[in-house]
Structure 1
């Protein structure tokens, strides 16, 4: 069984700017990853992902693009958040969450 340790208030406060910065970086990285993935899975060459209000795409295409984009963003954000928390823990000795 894992022993839970309470994070100090100072660790949470110190981590806040790191968390905000990593969220911004994660959003930028996720956007780039999604564009590359979409280019590989879409039928058209250099095609941008369909937006919900673009009438030339079917509902199926729009929903598939949205689902893929959401999955990519969630995975990239989780990886960046977890990596940032581990780096913070190595630097300070305290886990920034919980």
Structure 2
């Protein structure tokens, strides 16, 4: 394992946590715009229908994936700028 991979591990973990928080915030804001002014439903919310629950889950998954990819790519790019190698 090369040095850039070892150095990137803690950075990657921190970026993963940051991306989760960021994605959660983005999802809450998007849900307010898309849905009613209620909070996003949980899968066990008895008062919400299947359609709304599945829509919220799909939207949340797409947002989480996009934010994670953007943060991971940005972290890898920054690592290459600092170390000169890509942390693959």
CA distance in 2, matches of 1:27, 1:62: 20
Match of 1:70 in 2: 61
Query: Aligned match of 1:19 in 6, 12, 22?
Result: 12
Query: Aligned match of 1:51 in 37, 42, 45?
Result: 42
TM-score (norm 1): 0.87
Q: Does 1:95 align with 2:86?
A: yes
| CA deviations over 1:5-41 (Å, ceiling 9, x no partner) | xxx5211111000100000000000000000000000
Q: Does 1:41 align with 2:34?
A: yes
Q: Which runs of 5+ in 2 are unaligned?
A: none
Q: Which runs of 5+ in 1 are unaligned?
A: 1-7
Segments of 4+ in structure 1 off by > 2 A? none
Aligned residues, how many? 88
TM-score (norm 2): 0.97
